[in-house]
């Protein structure tokens, strides 16, 4: 397994739980550079970096963007183990915030 782009992100399972990011020096530096680009970009400009790899080698992209608290109200919550599935409306709000109004998670 190569070390280039090695990065595993474990999101919050519930409120107040830690988020954990683990990776190689290269993966962590690339993530830091991506976050700085997002912080310095125009509001709502989505920046991306590809390819990151967890230990299993399955590559993925990371998207990052600046947003205000108001823009994040009503979008899907980030917790993944609380047994509460976000509604289609909450999922759509997050997708539209990141990718623009033309995208949707619901069919139709």
38 vs 75: which has the higher pLDDT: 38
Give the per-residue SS3 of the chain: CCCCCEEEEECCCCCCCCCEEEECHHHHHHHHHHHHHHHHCCCCCCEEEEEEECCCCCCEEEEECCCCHHHHCCCCCCCCCCCCCCCHHHHHHHHHHHHCCCCCCCCC
Instruction: Provide the pLDDT for residue 98.
Output: 63
Segment 64-108, tens digit of pLDDT: 999 888 888 877 777 766 565 667 777 777 677 666 755 444 444
Domain layout of the chain by residue ranges:
7-99
Q: How far is CA 11 from CA 76, 87, 107, in A?
A: 13, 19, 27
Instruction: Provide the pLDDT for residue 19.
Output: 83
């Amino acid at each position: 397994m190569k070390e280039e782009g090695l990065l595993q992100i474990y999101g919050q399972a519930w409120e107040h739980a830690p988020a954990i990011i683990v990776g190689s020096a290269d993966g962590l530096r690339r993530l830091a550079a991506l976050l700085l680009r997002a912080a310095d970009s125009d509001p709502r400009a989505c920046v991306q970096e590809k390819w990151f790899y967890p230990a299993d080698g399955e590559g993925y992209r990371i998207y990052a963007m600046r947003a205000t608290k108001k823009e994040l109200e009503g979008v899907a919550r980030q917790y993944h183990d609380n047994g509460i599935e976000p509604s289609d409306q909450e999922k759509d709000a997050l997708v539209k915030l990141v990718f623009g109004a033309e995208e949707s998670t619901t069919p139709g």
